[in-house]
Structures are given as structure tokens and as C-alpha cells.
Structure 1
Amino acid sequence: MNPLQNDSSGALKNGRVAAVQMVSTSRIDENLHAARTLIDESVAQGADLVVLPEYFPIMGMRDGDKVKVREAEGRGPIQDFLAETALRHGVWLIGGSIPLVADAADKVFNSSVAYNPQGELVARYDKIHLFGFQKGKERYNESASIEAGKQPVAFDTPFGRVGLSICYDMRFPELYRALGVVDLLVIPAAFTETTGRAHWEILLRARAIENQCYVLASAQGGTHENGRETHGNSMLIDPWGDILDRKPKGQGIVIGEIDHARIAEVRANLPALKHRVM
């Protein structure tokens, strides 16, 4: 699987995309049930592609909880759920992030996995940039339990080229440049309320504007059992930076269309991608 291979052929179709927002718990079965309900709702509203948030299957009470439930690629109840759900609905389904086996025994890869309508794994992206934050008593250090990925990943669908990233990645625009020209950036996240309130919308809109593409952000959005408050505000943003749909807090979905005429219009009116010199 070449992570940046472009194998699309023919004219691209418009597609309807949905981002699922959750407030995940420490119990995998409970989270999969919630995800199933929200995916069903997205499909009922015509979604061709559905994205789940970062850590959708587990927001543990402590960092080591996700290590205990990590899966090898292609095996395990979380991946089985994603493959079976994509096949059952005949949609593209992106598991925003799941814990996969890492080289270190006490760590995981924080991985976004994409399935086609046949239930086949077509892309995997391991989070490259690991979040670290300290302000007063609020502290996070992802590198303590997560092994960093190394490779940017994009893949093709009938309705456009999709670039993958996860949460903290959105602060690093060079990652998105490395993806090349894409039609949709998918950004699942579990942004903290502190950093999200200050930077979430600004960064998402900047990524859409500078890459002249749609951005679909699927977030955790509420107060979790471990005391962490996530920012929510899942949204779909168009290539001009306009927000098309938003879910402030709690479980739910955002949904809208990837319109290739809109992408072409923005890129023709302001051909910034062609003006790049670096």
C-alpha cells in the first residue's frame, strides 16, 4: 500500500461526508454502540464517507488503558467493527484513531484507518506529531504512551483525494504540504477545551484556506470519565474557509457535500497552489 499513491481514474463525483462527534468512555463496547448509532444516522442522511473522532473506541481513565486494548493491524474487535460497518452500509469509513501495536511493548501507534465500501482497509496513518502541554495542573504527554508515526498518508475515493491527519498534527502545516493537492482533509481529534477554545477553529480554517480544499473535523466533545474536557465543535469547512456545518458539544454529526465545482472555483479565482515556490 503506497500511502501517497494516486490511483483515481475518470471524473470525480460530488460526495456527501459526515463527521461523528462523541464523548467516549473507558468501555469499548459502549463506545462502539454509540458509534454505530451515529454512523447509522449519517448514512440515513446520505453520507458517502463517515469519519469517527480520535480515540473513539476508548478514552481511558489513564494512559495505559489504551495499551491494554491495542490491536495488531487487521485483527481485533475494533477493526472488525469498522470493516463490518463499512461493508454493511456500503460507505467509506474512517476510524479517526484506534490503538494499534507499536514496536515498544508499553506504547501504541495512534492510528487512523480507512475502509472502502467493501470493508477493506485501504489506508492507515500513524499520528506523527505527539501532543505535549502543561499549564498549571493540566498536563499531557502523548509520547509517554504513543509511538510517533513517520509517513504522510493520502488515498483516493470516487469523490476526491483524502488526506489523513490526527488532532495535534493540525498545528504543523508542512504535513499537509507533504500530502500534495487533496480535495478533503480529514482531522479527527480529542482537542482539550483549553487549547480548543483558543485555537481549534482558527487552525482548521487556516488548513482549509491554504490547501484550498474541504476540511472535515470529527471531534470528541464533552467531559469524560477521566475528568478531561474535550472541545467538540466538529465541523465541515469549504475551500474558502467558510464553515458549512458545526456541532458545538455532545454526541451528534455534522454533514455536507464535497462540491468539486466549488473547489475549482476557489482555485481558479485565487491560484495560490500554482503560485507556490517552495
Structure 2
Amino acid sequence: MKIAVLQMNAGFDPAENAAVLTDAVARAKAGGADILFTPEMSNMLDRNRARAAGNIRHENDDGTLAAVRAAAAEAGLWVHLGSLAVRGDGASDKWRNRAFVIAPDGNIAARYDKIHLFDVDLASGESWRESSVYAGGDQAVAVQLPGAVLGLSICYDIRFPAVYAALSRAGADIVAVPAAFTVPTGEAHWHVLLRARAIESACFVVAAAQTGTHADGRTTYGHSLVVDPWGDVLLDMGDAPGLAFMDLPMGRIAEVRARVPVIANRRPVRDAVLGGEGAT
């Protein structure tokens, strides 16, 4: 399977970001890719929530989603839109951080709402409270592609192995981790977490990332990665925006799982009991 990975520096204008995405679809197809992966918040990155509110739409009205669906259909290409900020579907007025898998006919094959919301205060002085405006999802999602099962996750999910265990149980061969990682957390944990998720699930990990200093003033880490089931880094895009291609040797999955059969040997584990069951 040949993949294309977009590393981008999204601003707060959805139309400008949509133009970057549709251009990437065309270039991915021209480069022979079977699927394009894009980062978290591909339609906009804007920490000014009052300004962002004027640009966030329900998915049925989202111009970025419509543009990418049309481009995918024209190119005949699978596209994993890492995530978009969209308005919710139900009574809650909170937004959703939602991933989309778009089929080559332009139809939406799968959706995933980010489960784990980034509510932290960093030593650098940065403070993030995603839960104040976003509602988290509660369901892991995998989708069948030609020749592989793709598991969906988003950014902060990477710190919660239970998500990836669920995707592994669903048969994931590839796990997507689109992200807009901060620089301090990226420098400390990005590579090791992505390699760990690949190793424990014996699958490929594709992590398309935002990078650089954005129009809203934040800075993201970049380093979009492709990691193989053994934990080897096959691609590291550094800190510049761009489009990269990678051929995934899918036979590597069976090879690694035969060498260290973590999937076959996995057993359900009950919650721990302090002192152990039967302690006296």
C-alpha cells in the first residue's frame, strides 16, 4: 500500500486550509498513493474561540469537508481527514473534533470523534482546556480499506493504550494518529509513544501532524511519522510543511506477529486488586 502524508501549517481561515488539502489530494494521486493522511484540525487551528465559532459548521455545511470529498471523488483516492472542528449533532452545543475517512467516490466511509480531550497546564505556561468547548466521543472506530483495516484515533488519544487495544481487537493493520502536538510534549514523548503503540499492536502507525508557528500564535511540533510494526521509524518529516510518500510493506505485519505473537497471546485483564487476589 502506498500512502501520502500531509504535514501542514493550518491557519484560522478554512478556505485557505481547504485549498492546501485539495492540492494535496491531487498531488497524492499524481504520486501514485492509495490513500492520503492529513493532520488533526485540518480545516482550522484557532485558539481564539470567539473567532473560531464563526467558522465552525455542522459537517453537512462544512466547506472544507465538501471540498475534500469532491477532490477525492475527482481523483478516485481514499482520504483520511485527520480531523475537522465541527458542530455537534445532538442537543449539546459543544463542538466535535471529528475524523473522516472518505472513499474514492467521495462518500464518507467512517467518522470518529476524539475520545480523550486535552485538559492540561504545561510547565511552559501553556494551558489547554479542550473540554470547555468540545465534547468527547465514546466509541473506537475502524474501517475496512482495500487490503487493510484502518483504526482511527486523534492526538491526545496516543497516551491511552486502551484505545489501541480496542482497535487491535477490531483487526487494525494501520492506526492513524493525526495530531497538533505542542512542542514541549512533542520533544518529550511524540516518538516514544508512537513507537510504543506500533509495537504493542504489531501494526503500522501513520501520524500526520501540524507543524510550525500558526496564524493564531501557537507552535506545533511537526515530525509526521510512519512507524512499522516492529517500532522502526520509516518516515520522519521533520518540521517543514510538505507532502511525503511511503510504501507500506504490508507483509511486515504477519512477519512481526509471528516473531512476537502479542496479538495471539493477549488475554483479558481484570482491574487490579491492591495486594493481589487472596492476599492475607
CA radius of gyration, larger in:
2
Is structure 2 residue 3 aligned with structure 1 residue 17? yes
CA contact (8 A) 2:62 2:86 kept: no
SS at 2:225 equivalent? strand
CA contact (8 A) 1:183 1:213 kept: yes
Q: Where does the alignment leave 5 or more consecutive residues of structure 2 unmatched?
A: 269-280
- How many residues matched? 264
SS at 1:205 equivalent? helix
TM-score by length of 2: 0.90
Q: Which residue of 1 aligns with 2:239?
A: 249
Q: Which residue of 2 aligns with 1:147?
A: 135
Q: Which moved more, 1:191-200 or 1:258-267?
A: 258-267
SS at 2:59 equivalent? coil
Is structure 2 residue 102 aligned with structure 1 residue 115? yes
SS at 1:113 equivalent? strand
Q: Which residue of 1 aligns with 2:118?
A: 131
Question: 1:9-158 counterparts in 2 under 5 A?
Answer: 15-102=1-88, 103=90, 106-136=93-123, 137-158=125-146
CA contact (8 A) 2:17 2:44 kept: yes
Q: Deviations over 1:244-266 (max 9, x none)?
A: 11111121123212322111111
Identity score, percent? 38
CA contact (8 A) 1:61 1:225 kept: no
- Distance in 2, matches of 1:64 and 1:263, equals 46
Residue 127 of structure 1 aligns to which amino acid in structure 2? K
Is structure 2 residue 204 aligned with structure 1 residue 214? yes
Q: Where does the alignment leave 5 or more consecutive residues of structure 1 unmatched?
A: 1-14
CA 1:269–1:105 in structure 2 vs 1: closer, same or farther (change >3 Å)? closer
Q: Which moved more, 1:155-164 or 1:55-64?
A: 55-64
CA 1:228–1:104 in structure 2 vs 1: closer, same or farther (change >3 Å)? farther
Query: What is the root-mean-square deviation of aligned Cα atoms in Å?
Result: 1.5
SS at 1:74 equivalent? helix
Query: Which structure exhibits the higher relative contact order, with contacts defined as CA atoms closer than 8 Å and separated by 6 or more residues?
Result: 1
- The structural deviation recorded for 1:220 is 0.2
CA contact (8 A) 1:221 1:251 kept: yes
Q: Deviations over 1:45-94 (max 9, x none)?
A: 21111111111111114134443323323333122112101111111111
Q: Which moved more, 1:174-183 or 1:162-171?
A: 174-183
CA contact (8 A) 2:25 2:72 kept: no
